[in-house]
Amino acid sequence: MAKKIGRNDPCWCGSGRKYKACHQAFDEKIAGFAAAGHIVPDRKMIKTAGQIAKIKESAKINIAVLDYISGYIKAGINTEEINTMVFEKTTKMGGYPATLNYQGYPKSACTSVNNQVCHGIPSEQVVLKDGDILNVDISTVLDGFYSDSSRMFCIGEVSPEKKKLVEVARECVYEGLKEVKPWGFLGDVGQAVHDYAFAHGYTIVREIGGHGVGVDFHEDPWVGYNTKRGTEMLMVPGMMFTIEPMVNMGRVEIYIDERNGWTAYTEDGKPSAQWEVQVLVTDTGYEIISY
């Protein structure tokens, strides 16, 4: 439970203003939603202005690294080469790849090809070929602050079916973004994403979703995409999380590679696509932090 603050005490957000002139009304509004039975964020999920500024510096690196590797991804290169580029560019800019050695993960990026849903481990043996689709997911830590985003790449001449999957997966993110607004619910985001994917004949992975990020690599809340409007956690200004639906061309079921304990695959072997953005809830809507 958050420590009670007096009206004339300094606000918990670090602004230096008195609580009554800063976040008192905000906290009271959240308490009203909680009293009505809704799931609400605690203060540690709400980023301060100082934290947001630091997270944005991290995100500058994350975006720049994805921009950089985009110029090199093509048929004939292997995914370990992508991993090396991510490590070298991130560290040259002063950051560090947040995935490297995270809970034992061995690489600086996740490179997921075709029917790999996520957490594909870069390897010299995985050589990109014409017709592949690839997700590159990278995360950066700078001065203790985190950013996280991913992009899809079509390698050479990709089939119309795969190209459509990649496009719809990206559109799903923007359908979700339309629902990011203060005093809405994460279930609003989830249903918008789910309905858009299903309208195009696709399914959304259930077990893996978005997450809070910024002060830590993975924070609350968990963000699912098979949810209903008006449910899940209340969104309030200062919350920051990822939107990253994993869209399957076929069935929804996935499995984890028992050999490495990380890579998720579609059960039916059909392709999967994912784009990821890091988003901040603002007073009027949202701001994309990393993409």
Structure confidence at residue 181 (pLDDT): 98
Question: What does the alpha-carbon distance between residue 44 and residue 28 come to, in Å, rounded to a whole number?
Answer: 16
Q: What's the rounded mean pLDDT across residues 265-276? A: 98
pLDDT at 154 over 70: yes
Element (H, E) at 27: helix 24-35
Element (H, E) at 164: helix 160-177
Structure confidence at residue 4 (pLDDT): 82
CB neighbourhood size of 219 (10 A): 18
Structure confidence at residue 2 (pLDDT): 59
Structure confidence at residue 1 (pLDDT): 47
Query: If you count them, how many residues does the chain have?
Result: 291
Q: What's the rounded mean pLDDT across residues 118-140? A: 98
Structure confidence at residue 251 (pLDDT): 98
Question: What does the alpha-carbon distance between residue 22 and residue 251 come to, in Å, rounded to a whole number?
Answer: 48
Q: What's the rounded mean pLDDT across residues 259-265? A: 97
Structure confidence at residue 254 (pLDDT): 98
**Token pair 């997450």: residue:** 211
Q: What's the rounded mean pLDDT across residues 221-241? A: 97
Residues 83-93: tens digit of each pLDDT:
999 999 999 99
Q: Which residues pair with 127 in a beta bridge?
A: 78
pTM over 0.85: yes
Structure confidence at residue 213 (pLDDT): 98
pLDDT at 148 over 50: yes
Q: What's the rounded mean pLDDT across residues 29-57? A: 97
DSSP 184-214: -BHHHHHHHHHHHHHHTT-EE-SS--EEE-S
Residue 68 one-letter amino acid: Y
Residues 169-209: tens digit of each pLDDT:
999 999 999 999 999 999 999 999 999 999 999 999 999 99
Under the banding of pLDDT at 50, 70 and 90, the label for residue 235 is very high
pLDDT at 48 over 60: yes
From 167, 186, 166, select the one nearest 176 (Cα to Cα). 186
Average pLDDT value over all residues in the chain: 97
pLDDT at 3 over 90: no
Fold adopted by 32-290: Creatine Amidinohydrolase (3.90.230)
